[in-house]
Chains A and B, each alone.
Chain A
Amino acid sequence: MIHSLFLINHSGDIFLEKHWKSVISRSVCDYFFEVKEKAVDPENVPPVLQTPHHYLISIYRGKLFFLSVVQTEVPPLFVIEFLHRVADTFQDYFGECSEGVIKDNLVTVYELLEEMLDNGFPLATESNVLKEMIRPPNILRSVVNTLTGGSNVGDTLPTGQLSNVPWRRAGVKYTNNEAYFDVVEEIDAILDKSGTTVFAEIQGVVEACVRLTGMPDLTLSFMNPRLLDDMSFHPCVRFKRWESERVLSFIPPDGNFTLMTYHVSSQNLVAIPVYVKQNINFFETGSCGRLDITIGPKQNMGKTVEGLMVTIHMPKVVLSANLTATQGNYTYDLTTKVLVWDIGKLNPQKLPNLRGSLSMQAGAPKPEENPSLNIDLKIQQLAISGLKVSRLDMYGEKYKPFKGVKYLTKAGKFQVRT
């Protein structure tokens, strides 16, 4: 299926290649470079390309292109999903997925790629299984390894691959047994000029960090599972139990994982935590414009809105911005034309305001459209949909684990049109 993989950095250098079948010359990437050149923005490169003899399927993550070469019909999502899984694995192993970190860990990366695919077909993609075979690097061990000539390759055999819970490694042991769940909800919204909601929905995810000894069997139940409209589960979740009882019953993988993602029923009204009053004007004459933005609290369930940030992609003709912020700082990047106003905590008594003038290229026509505002925000200890975890039970093990739940609401793709 997947013939070869090339990792390509932002400036177009191939810094890693791996072939699972016979070797394909890296010149195949030239077709890709041609398209990339035309696309200007790397995000605009189409993920699927056709060349005379091969097909190129690529993803763009962390300023890197993961470019795979396939020769025959294959579901493109299969390859895309796998490439993202590779990037996730790097992230998991090295803390980030960047050119530097991959180059520093080239051998581990190569060993991982070797285990993840056999003849181009995914073999071991579960983090728990991989970690049994190839240990993630840490500073202490790499020092010890250089002194003793020890290795990162585990000497235990990957029995996880054979078990019927392949996502969990065997023989897990902790002195402190703990299970943490983060319920994170993101509000996707489009507001129009007048502040009316054009579109809004809530997407949630339950991230788990489970460090429990042995083979615990967990059951997580919600106070109001009916809120959940559509969801996807980690393979460990027993779907039948969910269908019949609306509880999440599972033997968890060891460590961090995404337990479920969900979409809140579209029947429910979505609370919009802030309102934005804005006025952006470009004048016909004088090559300048005015900008005035105020943000205030709206439906935030009595919680504090934090990490408030406004990002504006200005039209190309805007040369500079001369603004004053009553709270926080603003920056204007001249090359990317991005204005970022980092506000921080929202104080309902004293609403943050940003105003001032924009200067434009002399003689250029006034921009047709006002730029839209992208809002970022966080609300701690609140799931905006009202979803609540009611309890977590553990079976199969005797000890008493520490259990914790955290809620967080964030702005997802939250856009205000102007």
Chain B
Amino acid sequence: GQHLNLISHLRNLKEMLESSKESLKLEAMKRIVGLIAKGKNASELFPAVVKNVASKNIELKKLVYVYLVRYAEEQQDLALLSISTFQRALKDPNQFIRASALRVLSSIRVPIIVPIMMLAIKEAAADLSPYVRKTSAHAIQKLFSLDADQKEQLIEVIEKLLKDKSTLVAGSVVMAFEEVCPDRIDLIHKNYRKLCNLLVDVEEWGQVVIISMLTRYARTQFTSPWKEVRGQSGEVMKAFYESDSEEKKGHTEEKPYIMDPDHRLLLRNTKPLLQSRNTAVVMSVAQLYWHLAPKHEVSIVTKSLVRLLRSHREVQYIVLQNIATMSIQRKGMFEPFMKSFYVRSTDATHIKTLKLEILTNLANEANISTILREFQTYVKSQDKAFAAATIQAIGRCATNISEVTDTCLNGLVLLLSNRDETVVAESVVVIKKLLQTQPTQHSEIIKHMAKLFDNITVPMARASILWLIGEYCERVPKIAPDVLRKMAKSFTAEEDIVKLQTVNLAAKLYLTNSKQTKLLTQYILNLGKYDQNYDIRDRTRFIRQLIVPSEKSGALNKYARRILLAPKPAPVLESSFKDRDRFQLGTLSHSLNSKATGYQELSDWPAVAPDQSVRNVEIIEASGSDSEEESSESEKTSSDSGKSSSGSEQSSSESELEQKKKKKTKKVPQKKSKPTAADRYSEIPAVCWSLRVTTSSFGPVKTYELLHHMTGKGLAAKYHFPRQPCLYQPSMVAVQVILSNSSDHSLEEIHIGDRSPASLSIHCFNTIERLEPEASVTVSMGIDFSDSTQAANFQLCTKEDQFSVSIQPAVGELLMPSSMTEQDFCKEQGKLQGMNETSATITMETANASSQAISKQVLSVANVGVVSSSQNNFSRFAGRTVSSGALVLVSLELKESSTALLTINTEKTVMASMLLRDIKQALTQA
């Protein structure tokens, strides 16, 4: 019935798709996508749907794409009908349309279009728009999975895209690299430094991929930074301080190992990402430090990893797994955060178990009493599986830390009278293991366990007790035969492991105390001979031959005692995470503890570093060196202010350790800006976090909104002051207006209409006959503001509409820079005293205290010229008002503690006070 229902439903949809109404089609497509989402088969509608692939309605078109990608593989011939639409769209002037066409085209898994896809990818990889290039990087992977034979050609495209400088492309192309040719490390060399420098600006998902690739890369290219630290006592803190003081002395002479600056670059540039909100990014940096950083630096990741434990349960699970592996090798890293691993009754079972694992790894002589007290709470947990795991953990602590073995053993013996069977059973098993390590003193415990034997039903526990009694039967000579007697009675009803241990016990007693147990043993061996389980039959046969002398058994019989009662090495209680470190941290393979498909091994450090010069980039680009200068500048200022803040830090009550850590982390980047490293990096266009924003949003050109497209019925206008002399009339201020059409129809006859005040003199732009949708045009106009900040109001007209708009200039835009010498400046200033002088004392933001920063701030608010100054504490600027040409002189005298005297001399006193206010504001802000 349901099937028929679906068929009629599909027929219905087909009719809707074939109607001429857009809305009906859209509704039909929505329902079809609903069917796909529910996993229903809607493939028979393919012909009807594909017809709409070129629809003008964006939503309809997108839904058709969804459908097409889903079913193209099944309907290859029909899918080909749509290809031409995409080929056309690939040439569209709009980058988003090009990108989406490539995205869909490459998702159609039809082998016949492979050459078309290849061509499209190659073209898109050379597109001017980084967004389209990003899409082409994604398409590479799709084509590769469709046809692996294209590998060589695709690698060429990857090679090209790897050179791309856009942060948008970087993550995607590295992803493609990882999927198509992860072994072509040689492609990375030339791009290594660029990737390191771009990293912080790449979107978060790309960061994860790049960091993981660079981890692998670094392990093949640099030598191990671990050697010297390994030789030390292994105490982490010590290594930490020592290397700190060593660095101060200058490490070149003392240390045989010098870190490759490229290696350092990677560590330095990934560190800020520890503060990312994306848990995957934090984890990937943590694993990078774990695998690449000198041992004493790894601990900087600890806090961030512990922070992730506050996140969702699934995140906790993965992070705890990784911490478990790390904490085996490096207790010191997580010991200060031990309490963060305390278990809560509300934690999920797998989280509890992991926390327990970590606590056990962290246990040492100093903290064991705290940990054991905590474990006591867990043993009582209602979650019995967890209680059992805790007992195992106590056992591990007891074997690892000899001081507490007795305490633990006594505690475990107490647990033997626990009400819960699993707890008792687990205790028995653990006690057995512990006793093996030091059996001599513990016959009391063995006796106690023998007494409990009747009440214990868990097979593993029974088997353990039997083994213990057998192994140390000479210590409990009276009890052992009695236990064997009981077992002989219940033998047939026991579980297999218990039977095996009974046979063992019998054999051992036969050898040590045959007088009392000979008959019992024979009885048990006879039972075993006819057991249903062949293991038991085998064992019985073997034991009989071994212990009972007969003609056939011969030589072996003499050694029976030595075979069965040989001293056995105590079992080592190990963490289940012991060998997880064979996998790279943070990977799926690590999480599963088995090699996942496509896992890339992390290679060992090379003994001798491969040629370092392969990473040098030969061509110095003009644009590159430019931004490099700026970035080094910004680095300088940031390190400066870092210093001043460290002064106040010293007064804080933070512990010594904390402070050392901070100083240390600060020191590292400073060190790097020293010559050797800096020389090598000079050719790389470094984009840094702070720089990016300052240039883009604080550039001297501020854009203002003139008309919003909502009020302008699709017409939007923005304006800015280009600060050029106005071409039309010298008394006018030049204004550039950017008109854009965001409506869906073209706008005609855009011009300027009535103005107010009527006397306002404006040089209008020529009427724009036609502005197409999505198009924009920049026009310039001139306005005579008559040296006042009064707004110029006028009407912006199209063929149908008129919109009132106004331009209100900031006072600083009413000026033109005037060049003069310092002497002229002082002379002119002398003429403009008294009421022509306005001044104020201001307190500047510390960041603004340099003369460069002052110029930058002043120039951002006022269009004036810098007067070169011979005095360091003076900054002078000169300008004239545009309309009347009156002189405006700005001078700034720096006093102590970032206060300054700001003076403005001009006859235009109203302007002076407004300008004073604006400059003051600019300088007091950061």
- A interface list, Cβ under 8 A from B: 1, 14-19, 21-23, 26, 41, 43-44, 46-48, 50, 55, 58-61, 70-78, 80-82, 84, 106-107, 109-111, 114, 118-119, 121-123, 125, 148-149, 151-153, 155-158, 161-162, 164-166, 171, 173, 190, 192, 198-199, 201, 203, 214-215, 217, 219, 226, 229-235, 238-241, 243-247, 249, 251, 258, 261, 263, 265, 267, 313, 315-316, 365, 367-369, 371-372, 374, 393, 395-396, 413, 415, 417
Q: Check B275 against A232 for contact (C-beta < 8 Å).
A: yes
**Residues of chain B lying within 8 A (CB to CB) of residue A368:** 380, 382, 418-420
* B801 touches A (CB below 8 Å): no
Q: Assess A232 versus B277: contact at CB under 8 Å? Given A17-B37, A149-B22.
A: yes
Q: Check B342 against A199 for contact (C-beta < 8 Å).
A: yes
Given A151-B26, A235-B277, 12 more pairs with CB closer than 8 A: A72-B596, A76-B587, A84-B315, A106-B37, A111-B62, A123-B138, A156-B742, A232-B277, A249-B926, A313-B382, A365-B419, A372-B345
Q: Check B345 against A164 for contact (C-beta < 8 Å).
A: no
Nearest residue in A to B370 (C-beta to C-beta)? A198
Q: Assess A267 versus B655: contact at CB under 8 Å? Given A77-B280, A107-B63, A119-B142.
A: yes
Q: Check B344 against A413 for contact (C-beta < 8 Å).
A: yes
Min distance, Cβ B424 to any Cβ of chain A, angstroms: 12
Q: Check A77 against B345 for contact (C-beta < 8 Å).
A: no
* B598 touches A (CB below 8 Å): yes
Min distance, Cβ B409 to any Cβ of chain A, angstroms: 21
Q: Check A125 against B205 for contact (C-beta < 8 Å).
A: yes
Min distance, Cβ B226 to any Cβ of chain A, angstroms: 24
Min distance, Cβ A236 to any Cβ of chain B, angstroms: 9
Min distance, Cβ B133 to any Cβ of chain A, angstroms: 12
Write the B650-671 contact mask toward A (1 if CB under 8 angstroms, else 0). Answer: 0011110010000000000000
Q: Check B315 against A80 for contact (C-beta < 8 Å).
A: yes
Nearest residue in B to A15 (C-beta to C-beta)? B38
Write the B331-356 contact mask toward A (1 if CB under 8 angstroms, else 0). Answer: 00000000110101110111000000
Interface locus among B190-198, B306-314, B882-890: B306-314
Nearest residue in A to B314 (C-beta to C-beta)? A47
Pick the contact of A161: B131, B279, B596 (CB < 8 A): B131
Min distance, Cβ B711 to any Cβ of chain A, angstroms: 10
Cα–Cα distance between A417 and B344 once the two chains are bound (Å): 9
Min distance, Cβ A334 to any Cβ of chain B, angstroms: 17
Cα–Cα distance between A243 and B378 once the two chains are bound (Å): 41
* B130 touches A (CB below 8 Å): yes
Q: Check B307 against A232 for contact (C-beta < 8 Å).
A: yes
| CB proximity to A under 8 Å, residues B685-738 | 688-690, 692-693, 696-698, 705, 708-710
Cα–Cα distance between A26 and B420 once the two chains are bound (Å): 42
Nearest residue in B to A120 (C-beta to C-beta)? B141
Nearest residue in B to A258 (C-beta to C-beta)? B277
- B interface list, Cβ under 8 A from A: 21-24, 26-27, 30, 33-34, 36-39, 57-60, 62-63, 65-66, 70, 73, 94, 96, 103, 106-107, 109, 129-131, 135, 138-139, 141-142, 145, 168, 172, 175, 200-201, 203-205, 208, 212, 272, 275-280, 282-284, 303-304, 306-307, 310, 312-315, 317-319, 339-340, 342, 344-346, 348-350, 374, 377, 380-382, 418-420, 586-589, 591-592, 594, 596-600, 634, 638-639, 641-642, 645, 649, 652-655, 658, 688-690, 692-693, 696-698, 705, 708-710, 742, 744, 847, 925-926
Pick the contact of A233: B24, B277, B348 (CB < 8 A): B277
Q: Check B346 against A265 for contact (C-beta < 8 Å).
A: no
Q: Check A244 against B645 for contact (C-beta < 8 Å).
A: yes
Min distance, Cβ A254 to any Cβ of chain B, angstroms: 15
- Among B63, B310, B638, find the residue whose CB has the most chain A CB atoms closer than 10 A: B310
Min distance, Cβ A144 to any Cβ of chain B, angstroms: 12
Q: Check A44 against B348 for contact (C-beta < 8 Å).
A: yes
Can you name 7 A-B pairs with beta carbons within 8 Å? A21-B145, A165-B693, A171-B709, A199-B339, A232-B307, A251-B697, A263-B303
**Residues of chain A lying within 8 A (CB to CB) of residue B692:** 164
Q: Check A43 against B348 for contact (C-beta < 8 Å).
A: yes
**Residues of chain B lying within 8 A (CB to CB) of residue A215:** 697
Nearest residue in B to A215 (C-beta to C-beta)? B697
Cα–Cα distance between A415 and B377 once the two chains are bound (Å): 13
Min distance, Cβ B698 to any Cβ of chain A, angstroms: 7
Nearest residue in A to B277 (C-beta to C-beta)? A232
Q: Assess A241 versus B282: contact at CB under 8 Å? Given A44-B349, A149-B22, A368-B419.
A: no
**Residues of chain A lying within 8 A (CB to CB) of residue B696:** 164-165
**Residues of chain A lying within 8 A (CB to CB) of residue B742:** 156
Pick the contact of B275: A43, A78, A164, A239 (CB < 8 A): A239
Min distance, Cβ B269 to any Cβ of chain A, angstroms: 12
Nearest residue in B to A314 (C-beta to C-beta)? B382
Cα–Cα distance between A369 and B377 once the two chains are bound (Å): 9
Q: Check A238 against B342 for contact (C-beta < 8 Å).
A: no
Min distance, Cβ B598 to any Cβ of chain A, angstroms: 3
Q: Check B275 against A231 for contact (C-beta < 8 Å).
A: yes
Cα–Cα distance between A261 and B307 once the two chains are bound (Å): 9
Q: Check A17 against B697 for contact (C-beta < 8 Å).
A: no
Q: Assess A203 versus B314: contact at CB under 8 Å? Given A75-B587, A119-B107.
A: no
**Residues of chain A lying within 8 A (CB to CB) of residue B586:** 75-77
The 8 A-B pairs at the shortest CB distance, nearest first, are namely A149-B23, A72-B598, A151-B59, A369-B380, A153-B59, A47-B314, A122-B205, A77-B280
Pick the contact of B925: A16, A55, A393 (CB < 8 A): A393
Pick the contact of B597: A22, A71, A119, A261 (CB < 8 A): A71
**Residues of chain A lying within 8 A (CB to CB) of residue B38:** 15-17
Q: Check A80 against B926 for contact (C-beta < 8 Å).
A: no
Q: Check A77 against B654 for contact (C-beta < 8 Å).
A: no
Q: Assess A229 versus B303: contact at CB under 8 Å? Given A72-B598, A110-B33.
A: yes
Q: Check B37 against A263 for contact (C-beta < 8 Å).
A: no
Cα–Cα distance between A233 and B138 once the two chains are bound (Å): 28
Min distance, Cβ B709 to any Cβ of chain A, angstroms: 8
Q: Check A78 against B208 for contact (C-beta < 8 Å).
A: yes
Q: Check B344 against A107 for contact (C-beta < 8 Å).
A: no
**Residues of chain A lying within 8 A (CB to CB) of residue B591:** 48, 76
Nearest residue in B to A43 (C-beta to C-beta)? B348
Q: Check A73 against B597 for contact (C-beta < 8 Å).
A: yes
Nearest residue in B to A259 (C-beta to C-beta)? B277
Cα–Cα distance between A26 and B62 once the two chains are bound (Å): 25
Q: Check A76 against B318 for contact (C-beta < 8 Å).
A: yes
**Residues of chain B lying within 8 A (CB to CB) of residue A17:** 37-39
Q: Check A81 against B278 for contact (C-beta < 8 Å).
A: yes
Cα–Cα distance between A60 and B587 once the two chains are bound (Å): 21
**Residues of chain B lying within 8 A (CB to CB) of residue A229:** 303
Q: Assess A78 versus B138: contact at CB under 8 Å? Given A26-B39, A55-B592, A232-B307.
A: no
**Residues of chain B lying within 8 A (CB to CB) of residue A123:** 138
Pick the contact of A73: B73, B96, B596, B690 (CB < 8 A): B596
Q: Assess A60 versus B313: contact at CB under 8 Å? Given A78-B205, A119-B107, A152-B59.
A: yes
Nearest residue in B to A245 (C-beta to C-beta)? B641
Q: Check A243 against B34 for contact (C-beta < 8 Å).
A: no
Q: Assess A80 versus B314: contact at CB under 8 Å? Given A106-B37, A153-B58.
A: yes
**Residues of chain B lying within 8 A (CB to CB) of residue A22:** 73, 109
Cα–Cα distance between A155 and B591 once the two chains are bound (Å): 43
Min distance, Cβ B319 to any Cβ of chain A, angstroms: 8
Q: Check B70 against A19 for contact (C-beta < 8 Å).
A: yes
Min distance, Cβ B646 to any Cβ of chain A, angstroms: 10
**Residues of chain B lying within 8 A (CB to CB) of residue A151:** 26, 57-60
Cα–Cα distance between A400 and B456 once the two chains are bound (Å): 77
Q: Assess A267 versus B37: contact at CB under 8 Å? Given A77-B318, A153-B62.
A: no
Q: Check B926 against A219 for contact (C-beta < 8 Å).
A: yes
Q: Assess A110 versus B342: contact at CB under 8 Å? Given A149-B26, A155-B58.
A: no
Cα–Cα distance between A199 and B371 once the two chains are bound (Å): 13
**Residues of chain A lying within 8 A (CB to CB) of residue B65:** 114
Nearest residue in B to A71 (C-beta to C-beta)? B597
Nearest residue in B to A229 (C-beta to C-beta)? B303
Pick the contact of A44: B22, B350, B418, B652 (CB < 8 A): B350
Q: Check B141 against A119 for contact (C-beta < 8 Å).
A: yes
